[in-house]
């Protein structure tokens, strides 16, 4: 062995070789683990698989550095060169770029460090002096007045869309920038209302649905921002009898005059239920996502509170005065919205809470039934609503590998119910950020980002295809409008026999889109955290 070779080898040659072998075995195990996580359903959630894959991938350069330091046989000072190079590259990258957010599949996005967040660059919304009063009292057959549509069931049945977009393509009506937020438009009598963050202001804004012209704006001094879930409010306004009801990300509940945006009454839910902003950030880190529900003379929203203090699942206020009428349930809230339905012959409020689903008496909020459902609002939060199906059944779905279940309500004789699980399947309808639409005994939804159809009665999958990621859907008769996370709109047949039968598609808006769709007659309104647009869709016949 030459003097040069002796100088380059580590002092314990056998030991160095052993370390090298161990390091390369570890390297191979990590690579194999990444392949396994990406090619199997180990986590039941593609986002979790991506997150763990990225963590595992970050170990690869560390393992290689260990090999280079301990077993490469290089001069001692050469062994530190890669470490210094990687440290320098890391410093350079962090100097030029910053972490901005993640996709629905937990893929991080980085932007230039000097770039400002889009909502901070918008400035205040310019509203022209009103030439006519906004009329949200007059109702039309095409109204889409609340979250998920007229029946809060993600379905519109009185519209028949043309099925051939090649012959009669959607026509752009308007497209413009909008403030940040993950809520949708509600539309009544040709006026579209939504919520958006512009710099330090959380706004409720009213637009002319046909022109995009701003008609009025109400501003609250509040800003919600969280690295994973983004900036701005995440609820959809509810329009009822000329009033607009909204809940902000930090629990500001507003009742506004629909003609002007003037406050009629307001509530601070954090203060009312004993939560500091710091406590709220720990227990409900993704912001309040419960869109207000109007039932009779009540406005009902998830309430919340602290696990170390008082917890209230739902709270109801007089919709005209803001007087509290009742509190119901003692489960922590989720990211779901309440709905009203008649199940088991009883009209009731359906609620999906942090770790349960429940039914509540309309007049008093009394808990009529409770069914356990795994969840933690600070981690694997529940987003999807409970859906009443048939005379006495409720369909439940959720992402994070929990999947779907069909439960039956059985009367106990005292006005309450016990629940029985008809079926449960962790592999179907993993609706992470979205809700389902039901047609003729079949359920359609984005299951961990892939469009899926299952049979309601059995949970049996009919088909699964089309990775649209974590967007939203709306059933229109026997068709599905799918708004992909990329901002693309697709027209797909709602059929259990024809798998992901795409009839048409076009790019509606750009950027990450988690917001729901609104359809006012033939006018499709879409938005995300940066822009909004309206398109005229051709009708059948």
Provide CB contacts within 8 A for 1, sequence distance 6+: none
- Rounded-to-10 torsion of CA 492, 493, 497, 498: -40
Confidence band of 79 (pLDDT split at 50, 70, 90): confident
Distance (Å, whole) CA 50 – CA 301: 34
Neighbours of 75 (CB within 10 A): 11
pLDDT exceeds 70 at position 131: no
The reported pLDDT for the residue numbered 16 is 65
Q: Kindly report the three-state secondary structure assignment for every residue of 337-369.
A: CCEEEEECCEEEEEEEECCEEEEEECCCCCEEE
Tally of CB atoms within 10 A around 60: 14
Q: How many CB atoms lie within 10 A of CB 122?
A: 17
Cβ atoms of 528 and 470 closer than 8 Å: no
Task: Examine the pLDDT at 193 and tell me if it is beyond 60.
Answer: yes
Integer Cα distance of 60 and 219 in angstroms: 49
The model's pLDDT over 281-318, given as tens digits with 9 standing for 90+, comes to 999 999 999 999 999 999 999 999 988 888 999 999 99
How many CB atoms sit inside 10 A of residue 415's CB?
A: 10
- CA–CA–CA angle 384, 526, 303 (5° rounding): 35
pTM for the complete prediction? Answer: 0.94
Judged by DSSP in three states, 274 sits in: coil
pLDDT digits (tens, 9 = 90+) for 345-371: 999 999 999 999 999 999 999 999 999
Q: pLDDT digits over 5-61, tens only?
A: 444 444 445 666 777 788 788 889 999 999 999 999 988 999 999 999 999 999 998
Higher pLDDT, 431 or 5: 431
| DSSP code at position 399 | T
Mean pLDDT over the full length of the chain: 93
Quick check: 130 and 214 in contact, CB under 8 A? no
Show the beta-strand stretches assigned E in 167-310: 171-177, 186-188, 191-198, 201-208, 214-221, 225-226, 230-231, 238-240, 243-247, 252-257, 263-268, 293-295, 298-305
Mean per-residue pLDDT, 468-478: 97
Q: How many residues appear in the chain?
A: 541
Per-residue pLDDT tens digits for 241-287: 999 999 999 999 999 999 999 999 999 999 999 999 999 999 999 99
pLDDT of 465 higher than 50: yes
* Residue-range domains of the chain with CATH: 3-112 (no CATH), 142-536 (2.130.10.10)
- Helices 46-71 & 81-96 angle (0-180, nearest 10): 140
**182: DSSP letter:** S
Distance of CA 513 to the CA centre of its chain: 9
Beta bridge partner(s), residue 534: 174, 525
Name residues whose C-beta falls within 8 Å of residue 135's C-beta, 6 or more positions apart in sequence. 189, 191, 242, 259
| pLDDT tens digits for range 164-182 | 999 999 999 999 999 999 9
Sign of CA dihedral 352, 353, 359, 365: negative
How far apart CA 420 and CA 412 sit, in angstroms, is 12
CA 122, CA 151: separation in Å to the nearest integer? Answer: 34
Q: What average pLDDT does range 208-235 have in this prediction?
A: 95
Predicted confidence (pLDDT) per residue in 309-337, tens digit = 889 999 999 999 999 999 999 999 999 99
pLDDT at position 13 is: 54
């Amino acid at each position: 062995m030459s003097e040069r070779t002796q100088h380059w080898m580590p002092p314990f040659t056998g030991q160095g070789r052993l370390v090298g072998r161990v390091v390369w075995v570890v390297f191979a195990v990590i690579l194999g683990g990444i392949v396994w996580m990406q090619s199997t359903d180990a986590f039941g959630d593609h986002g979790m698989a991506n997150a763990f894959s990225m963590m595992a991938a970050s170990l690869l350069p560390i393992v290689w550095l260990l090999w280079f330091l301990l077993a490469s046989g290089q001069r001692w000072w050469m062994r530190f060169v890669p470490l210094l190079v990687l440290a320098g590259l890391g410093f350079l990258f962090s100097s030029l770029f910053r972490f901005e957010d993640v996709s629905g599949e937990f893929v991080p996005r980085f932007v230039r460090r000097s770039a400002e967040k889009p909502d901070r660059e918008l400035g205040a919304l310019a509203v022209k002096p009103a030439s006519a009063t906004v009329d949200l009292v007059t109702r039309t057959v095409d109204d889409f007045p609340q979250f998920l549509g007229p029946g809060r069931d993600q379905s519109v049945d009185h519209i028949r869309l043309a099925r051939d977009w090649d012959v009669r393509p959607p026509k752009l009506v308007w497209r413009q920038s909008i403030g940040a937020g993950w809520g949708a438009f509600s539309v009544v009598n040709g006026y579209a209302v939504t919520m958006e963050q512009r710099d330090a202001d959380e706004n409720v804004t009213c637009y002319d649905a046909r022109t995009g012209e701003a008609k009025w704006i109400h501003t609250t001094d509040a800003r919600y921002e969280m690295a994973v879930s983004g900036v701005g409010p995440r609820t959809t306004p509810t329009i009822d009898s000329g009033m607009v009801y909204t809940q902000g990300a930090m629990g500001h509940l507003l009742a506004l005059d629909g003609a002007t945006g003037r406050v009629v009454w307001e509530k601070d839910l954090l203060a009312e239920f004993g939560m500091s902003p710091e406590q709220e950030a720990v227990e409900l880190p993704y912001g309040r996502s419960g869109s207000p529900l109007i039932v009779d003379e009540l406005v009902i929203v998830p309430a919340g509170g602290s696990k170390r203090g008082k917890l209230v699942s739902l709270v109801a206020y007089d919709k005209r005065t803001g007087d509290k009428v009742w509190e119901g349930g003692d489960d922590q809230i989720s990211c779901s919205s309440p709905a009203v339905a008649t199940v088991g012959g009883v009209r009731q409020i359906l609620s999906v809470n942090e770790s349960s689903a429940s039914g509540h008496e309309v007049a008093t909020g009394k808990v009529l039934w409770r069914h356990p459902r795994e969840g933690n609002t600070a981690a694997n939060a529940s987003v999807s609503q409970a859906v009443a199906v048939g005379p006495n059944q409720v369909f439940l779905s959720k992402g994070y590998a929990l999947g779907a279940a069909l439960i039956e309500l059985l009367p106990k004789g005292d006005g309450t119910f016990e629940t029985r699980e008809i079926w449960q399947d962790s592999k179907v309808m993993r609706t992470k950020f979205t809700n389902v639409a039901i047609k003729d005994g079949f359920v359609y939804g984005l299951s961990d980002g892939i469009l899926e159809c299952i049979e309601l009665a059995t949970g049996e999958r009919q088909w699964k295809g089309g990775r649209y990621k974590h967007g939203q859907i709306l059933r229109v008769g026997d068709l599905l409008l799918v708004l992909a996370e990329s901002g693309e709109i697709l027209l797909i047949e709602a059929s259990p026999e024809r798998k992901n039968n795409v009839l048409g598609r076009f790019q509606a808006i750009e950027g990450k889109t988690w917001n729901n769709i609104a359809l006012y007659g033939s006018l499709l309104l879409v938005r995300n955290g940066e822009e909004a647009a309206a398109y005229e869709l051709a009708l059948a016949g």
